[in-house]
Amino acid sequence: LQQRRGLRLSAPAAIQVTVRDALNQALDEELERDERVFLLGEEVAQYDGAYKISRGLWKKYGDKRVIDTPISEMGFAGIAVGAAMAGLRPVCEFMTFNFSMQAIDQVINSAAKTCYMSAGSIAVPIVFRGPNGASAGVAAQHSQCFAAWYGHCPGLKVVSPWSSEDAKGLLKAAIRDDNPVVMLESELLYGVPFEMSEQAQSKEFVIPIGKAKIERQGTHVTLVAHSRPVGHCLEAAAVLSKEGVECEVINLRTIRPMDIETVEASVVKTNHLVTVEGGWPQFGVGAEICARIMEGPAFNYLDAPAVRVTGADVPMPYAKILEDNSIPQVKDIVFAVKKALNI
């Protein structure tokens, strides 16, 4: 009736939600939806999580669903894997993925390989999640990106969100997946607000694992990134647009399985490729993307060699000025694009 009278009805507005709150929503909704889901890790319960991702969940769901563990990653990751084999759906939080090295036998030899080794008779529906890559001022032992490590292993799915919608949709998809999923979050993004659409606010909002998203359309060069560098790519694209260079920015979202088809289609259109990541260059995510493009049909459309922008090939320094120069910055992406375009 209002429309007939010529009144314009406004659509339900998108809201600003931090990545922290998006992850909290996803955990809350999945704990409520499926009684097999439980969360365990260091300080996730009574302390509300080291990063407050699990704020309020212990009070709401109790000791059996949100479990504080001792400081023993090998121990609680092993308990979680066993629980998954027995039919539960654990979410195992590592305070940082650098500490997942203590549990890598459980993640790789137990979780990733069991379905294959049992000829499909034993599923391991588990999520390993927590902050990955560089934070701020925490030096080498707390700053490594493990996307290439875990992306290397058959049997695992590996996701790496950037925005709040990514975080919520991918975590819900990971919890519902019957395979072990490694979810690599960014500590530096936890407090960052992103616009969340009405669709993403739904309890049934899920982002398919293995599908990239084009965050910005462009015609001159393809920028591919995951996690925090997606934001840097968008900033660089805005700078370059003022100079007449239009970048297509692809948010990879999933490291394994990798959506190379979306990257190929973009390269066919732009004829240039730049990959951006916070991890080290050797055997990295960007190296894999470049190899896949070279081996596939999009190679014939490249007008110049692909360029990788990566973290520096050193353990992360502690000093801030050195740390800043060890992580890809907007200026590094702008330089790489101009190199690819020979301008």
Tell me the residue length of the chain: 343
Peptide bond into 257 cis (omega under 30): yes
Tokens of 170: 């991918």
The token duo for 193 is: 């607000």
142 is catalytic: yes
Is 170 in contact with 181 (CB distance < 8 Å)? no
182 forms beta bridges with 128, 158
**Which residue in the list 30, 42, 93, 142 is annotated as catalytic?**
142
CA distance 157 to 255: 8
- Lookup: tokens for 46: 């009574």
Q: d(Cα 97, Cα 62) in Å, to the nearest integer?
A: 26
Q: Spot the catalytic one: 30, 42, 73, 248.
A: 73
Residue 73 appears among annotated catalytic residues: yes
Give all strands (DSSP E) within 138-231, no chain letters. 157-159, 181-185, 193-196, 213-216, 221-225
- Which of the 8 DSSP states describes residue 6? T
Question: Helix, strand, coil % (nearest 5) of the chain?
Answer: 40, 15, 40
Identity of the residue numbered 115: C
Q: Which residue numbers are catalytic?
A: 73, 142
